Structure 1
């Protein structure tokens, strides 16, 4: 993260580390992951330092102890050619969310049209 965000966030809260510009875009995804205690997959487009559009894929995996989420492991896809240095802070353009999905095996058993749209799209 320190390479993509330009500096380390060690010892800081995530929303503080992200800053006022990025926190409103990123924190709702973490909150949904904790609230649902389920993995969340996102794809956002962001411009790298060379002006290339990068599909920034993120998978948040919640882990719990004694019933509540205590840790989230984040994985990032680094497939393709792009400049990761300052990826999230190097552009004036904010990341554009393209996909946000809670991974819930129970959704498989629901009939079409019965999946709440808030679980699929709305992250507030």
Structure 2
């Protein structure tokens, strides 16, 4: 039986748009490997991500200097790649979250103005 990914409660385009800051946020408490990042995101409503969605973003974040990656030997199996947040990544996360809050505020204001029949 093939396991179907749990859907996120938001449209997939929203999840894709928020994936970089979400990944950075998942690493704020400490390093995680890819599966650990996917689990953290699923626990926070991003649905169950597939490697084809997660690893290209991790690669871009590494190229941008927002995360570092290192191979860690497995105790009872193969090694794995752990990702850690850099200081630049912390700043990028903080800035992206602030921008998303401003976007949400703008959307809320627009909806309120439209419902009230007023426009600025």
- State the TM-score, normalizing by the size of structure 2: 0.24
**Which of the two has higher C-alpha Rg?**
2
- State the TM-score, normalizing by the size of structure 1: 0.24
- Structure having the larger proportion of residues in helix: 2
Which of structures 1 and 2 has the larger relative contact order (alpha carbons within 8 angstroms, sep 6+)? 1
- Structure having the larger proportion of residues in strand: 1
